[in-house]
Amino acid sequence: MTAFAFEVLVTLKDGLADPQGKAVESALPALGWSNVAHVRVGKHIRLEIDAPDQVAARTQVEEIAERLLSIPVIEDAQVMEVARS
Amino acid sequence: MIGPRIGVVTFPGSLDDRDALRAVGQMGGEGVPLWHADADLRGVDAVILPGGFSYGDYLRCGAIARFASVMDQVVAFADHGGPVVGICNGFQVLCEAGLLPGALIRNRSLRFVCRNVWLRIETSQTCLTSALTPGETVQIPIKHGEGQWVATREQLDLVEGDGRVVFRYVSPAGIVDDAHNPNGATNNIAGIRNAAGNVVGLMPHPEHAVDPDVGPEGGQPLFASLLHTAGVTV
């Protein structure tokens, strides 16, 4: 078994209103940044996993991302392999 | 005669389990406390998933509670037609568990909202509204930060087209409008049911609205419906 590290990025689907992104966006002009638009807020999850190989590790992380880390009705989950710390 | 036995599940972080048990008792039923780690439902006639912040609402509201061992029993109970009601956090758990469609996201205002609202009954074909007539209104409190119900286009078409909307936020006169939508929920939807009507989820708190000493009494006909349904289903 080898250890692999992954990052999972969970974001609200395109087209869904993102109240947190909107709050951030509307705070920016007050700080003088009036040229920023389409702010979206998401979640970042980092994890390490023991698996026989890289493909098996990714498959399992994708399942974790879909079953627990995100709710597919409203969120997209992007899985990225990263260097172990 | 002993009233129907209504189980109320306590997850770590549940807040309204005691109120739900008390409301059941006040309405003539027997409240049965259930624990999230329980492996059985103690033979209850109906199950309530109460409000609160199960597991701290970490990750997403209701996301962790869905995997509690008692939930396997709740899902099986619902699949066999047993009445299951999810209130607030319990509604979020039912959506996460796939027993009801859609999801609950942050209120449009980004603020926690705590006030009495008016609800219009959209169907009496549920375990929670059988004693009511469509078009009737009841006053019940809400208290939530993430109560904006959203769904995919397909889910919304099914929910609206198949009469699965149970409650809508309305004006005191029973009119659906944006001014009386407290959280931005799609089509002012406050509660929905499954295809069979034995599973209902809603954001408002009927368990806080049965005792005339402490607020509105709009929760009474809902609990009366649930107790009646639970009594018949036995």
pLDDT of residue B234: 47
Residue with tokens 């009445």: B83
B103/A20 touch (CB, cutoff 8 Å), yes or no:
no
Contacts of A71 in chain B (CB under 8 A): 60, 63, 95-96, 103
pLDDT of residue B79: 96
Write the pLDDT tens digit of every residue in B210-223. Answer: 999 988 999 999 99
Q: Give the number of beta-carbon pairs within 8 Å between A and B.
A: 35
pLDDT of residue B233: 57
CA distance A78 to B125: 40
Q: What is the number of other CB atoms lying within 10 angstroms of the CB of residue B30? A: 16
CA distance B94 to B173: 30
Which structural domain, as residue segments, surrounds residue A74?
2-82
CATH of the domain at A24: 3.30.1280.10
Give the nearest chain B residue to A19 (CA atoms). B108
Q: What is the number of other CB atoms lying within 10 angstroms of the CB of residue B39? A: 9
Residue B107 structure tokens: 């209120």
Domain count across chain A:
1
Does this model's pTM top 0.80? My answer is: yes
Ranges under pLDDT 70 in chain B:
1, 233-234
Contacts of residue A41, defined as CB under 8 A and 6 or more positions apart, other chains included, come to A18, A20, A21, A24
Which CATH fold topology does B5-233 show?
A: Rossmann fold (3.40.50)
* Mean pLDDT score of chain A: 93
pLDDT greater than 60 at residue A62? yes
Q: Does A82 touch chain B (CB under 8 A)?
A: no
Q: Does A16 touch chain B (CB under 8 A)?
A: yes
Residue B106 structure tokens: 């942050």
Q: Does B107 touch chain A (CB under 8 A)?
A: yes
**The three-state (H, E, C) secondary structure of B85-149, written as one string:** EEECHHHHHHHHCCCCCCEEECCCCCCCEEEEEEEEECCCCCCCCCCCCCCCEEEEEEEECCCEE
Q: What is the number of other CB atoms lying within 10 angstroms of the CB of residue B83? A: 29
pLDDT greater than 80 at residue A2? yes
CA distance B76 to B17: 21
> Coil, strand or helix: which one is B19?
helix
Write the pLDDT tens digit of every residue in B24-72. Answer: 999 999 999 999 999 999 999 999 999 999 888 888 888 888 889 999 9
Q: Does A15 touch chain B (CB under 8 A)?
A: no
pLDDT greater than 60 at residue A4? yes
B105/A68 touch (CB, cutoff 8 Å), yes or no:
no
**Average pLDDT of span A44-55:** 97
